[in-house]
A and B are shown apart, each in its own frame.
Chain A
């Protein structure tokens, strides 16, 4: 039987995979995209916390010292993300971390990335929230910041604000087609140019191709849609070019498993993982003080009680992003809603054991509507390390949406310094004059991250980076990594826009170099169109 071939195989369909998948397909390449999760459309997304609904597309991966949330569907984490779309502060690109030298490649700075940020902002597109668009929790956070002497901004979001119903079910995927996930832009544009997207295809490894003119053989298992632990088939596709974008929790695992077949891996594969410095804490608001101190009332006699209402992210302060401050002391503080699947995590607010369950915790959760959760995105020290890969997949799946990963994260003093600083800042703002009580997430000592990064990072130093500044895996020509794992450091803001901008930049470089890999494609391709007809017009070979 003939071996299946494609010009390009893209592994993963999130920001990092959808963007190069589109550009290469529009440029004229035959592209196959392999996605381990299922494919859901707008009408398939639920408003339900019943297990078996959202758990089809979200994974909670528990490691040693760290828990990570990641998407598992066509569109990847863009389907479940909260759509905050910010450019990383300039100082982030100059970070030196614990190594004492610049961690980002010299060719990438905020200035050089700005054109790619701009392109993504137009393509998704990103909307600017006015104060009229900021939901109650974001309003309370902004007012609390102002009263404490700080500025606070509405957060730009990749949301069609006219279509958005402020339902607060973003983690389930957007039922109203308002959240601009990859399902609404780059992926349909790629398909208009003939890209074949295959859901439930979980890539296991990459090896050398056996067909002349092709470099890599990508091997996958086909997963049972009702139980991802069960494989119903397997296959291999050979490609001239491979784009690996399985996410920061998937990419390093696939590469580790491929090391023997490919003749070794750079030492930085599976090292330097960053949780984006994520740190969530809780303010339990005193409703009377919300009116008394902040002058807020959302209905007669109701000051707030609005935790569950709105878009999950409304406002944030940039006041702690001082470029002149020392590294590991800078962070943003962003209001963010979490559905009650995370209610186990906060401490109960009463001294002594038990810290997070029992009668006092039940009393705390009875005031859930008066909660205000804030995410600090700090500068961490990239201390996460992946262990040996599991037999298959990216982690050992123990339940539909739960798995045990090989990632360990032992917090360094530098990272802890950032969290101590963000905790102190948050406490100062919310406890001023008794507005709220500041509580920590204490049910588990594990770091909680929804923004995994840097596990296969790029840089200029081969000893501490796996990719060069064009996202090519060192020592493996034609194998590119364009997802969150390529981002070298935590970003102090939500990472999606930076991941997308880097993928745009990488795609542009790839189109120009395609000939090196035996591909005949146009060197320049415009961003995706917004209608089917426009999308087809951008394709060299429309589907």
Chain B
């Protein structure tokens, strides 16, 4: 464990972090020991059976929550990657430049009441971390216990894990992961937690990135110029007078 401890020390000193690394043979950890570690990590992250029903009173993830929010951020950033917010940013992997889903408001949208999923987020974070822990065990990756397991994985491993969760899982579990992924996409591609006109005007990064057009001054869209205004193909010769096929 010497190397791992050194990594933690570097982190405490603010040095560049290694998010995860394959288990070095010199660590001499057996698969059984890894699985034990995984089980312990899973317990730490309050592993619960899926689907998890959170208490009804739990309205949203508390701001600054050290476990749930980074997990959701890492999940979101894997779907739509962005730049790190600071050199110490762990949740965002920094796999791409510019804003990604997190900067576009993924966490805000997941906690936005009309999205309807806020009460399930703690359970979701627990489940995805359990899968991250199992993934790490399967692939001989030693997790950093100071961050959620998903955050501890590097971008390539996060991506591989999400491919498993989203494309290779079936049933209710896949449904839940896909629903969360869909909301993350909505945050970036539609600013679904904001009025769209306001979001466009304030430079929402996702809408800006896809080139969503700007509204008129009254917040409504109109396109006076919308057509090439040219005949661009011949009509089907048997088209009826009402424009239908025969």
Contact = CB atoms under 8 A, between A and B. Distances in A.
Interface in B219-244: 219-240, 242-244
A167 B231 CA distance: 22
A173 B195 CA distance: 16
A402 interface: yes
A143 B96 contact: no
Contact of B235 (A153, A332, A354): A153
Given A146-B234, A368-B210, A362 B186 contact: no
A319 B243 CA distance: 14
Interface in A134-188: 134-136, 139, 142-143, 145-146, 150-156, 165-169, 175
Contacts of A132: 227, 229
A519 interface: no
A357 B221 contact: no
B211 interface: yes
A126 interface: yes
A444 interface: yes
A128 B226 CA distance: 17
A189 B34 CA distance: 72
B189 interface: yes
B163 A308 contact: no
Contacts of B211: 305, 308, 366, 368-369
B94 to A, nearest CB: 11
B145 interface: no
Decide if the interface of chain A is mainly helix, strand, loop or mixed: loop
B78 to A, nearest CB: 7
A355 interface: yes
A39 interface: no
A444 B178 contact: yes
B215 interface: yes
B116 interface: yes
Given A49-B192, A133-B227, A136-B227, A155 B243 contact: yes
B190 A362 contact: no
A152 B232 contact: yes
B244 A493 contact: yes
B235 A55 contact: no
Contacts of B221: 47, 165, 167-169
A219 to B, nearest CB: 27
Interface stretch (A25-33, A68-76, A336-344): A336-344
Contacts of A404: 175
Nearest to A167: B221
A48 B196 CA distance: 5
Contacts of A118: 242
Contacts of A355: 167
B80 to A, nearest CB: 6
Interface stretch (A1-9, A85-93, A255-263): A85-93
Contacts of B131: none
Interface in B174-196: 175, 178-179, 181-182, 185-186, 189-196
A343 B160 CA distance: 21
Interface in B102-150: 109, 112-117
Nearest to B186: A341
B246 interface: yes
B95 interface: yes
B162 A152 contact: no
A358 B159 contact: yes
A190 B185 CA distance: 41
Listed residue (B116, B163, B178, B194) with the most chain A CB atoms within 10 angstroms of its CB: B116
A332 to B, nearest CB: 7
Task: Give the interface size class of chain B.
Answer: 35 or more
B163 A359 contact: no
B100 to A, nearest CB: 7
B197 interface: yes
Interface in A308-341: 308-310, 315, 317-319, 321, 323, 332, 339-341
Contact of A399 (B116, B159, B167): B116
Among A128, A305, A365, A492, max chain B CB count under 10 A is at A365
B203 interface: no
A150 B81 contact: no
B236 A51 contact: no
Interface string A182-201: 00000000000000000000
B181 A166 contact: no
CB-CB nearest 6 A-B residue pairs: A399-B116, A52-B114, A152-B233, A156-B243, A87-B244, A49-B190
Interface of A: 47-53, 55, 62, 86-87, 89-90, 117-118, 121, 126, 128-129, 131-136, 139, 142-143, 145-146, 150-156, 165-169, 175, 294, 296, 298-299, 305-306, 308-310, 315, 317-319, 321, 323, 332, 339-341, 343-344, 353-355, 357-359, 361-362, 365-366, 368-369, 398-400, 402, 404, 443-444, 492-493
Given A49-B196, A146-B232, A362-B96, 11 more contacts: A47-B215, A51-B192, A90-B246, A131-B230, A156-B244, A165-B223, A169-B221, A308-B211, A318-B236, A362-B81, A400-B114
26 contacts: A49-B191, A49-B192, A51-B109, A51-B112, A86-B244, A87-B240, A143-B233, A150-B233, A167-B220, A315-B232, A318-B245, A321-B245, A341-B189, A353-B159, A353-B167, A361-B80, A362-B96, A365-B189, A366-B210, A368-B210, A368-B212, A399-B117, A399-B179, A400-B116, A444-B178, A493-B245
Interface of B: 78-81, 95-96, 100, 109, 112-117, 159-160, 162-163, 166-167, 175, 178-179, 181-182, 185-186, 189-197, 209-213, 215, 219-240, 242-246
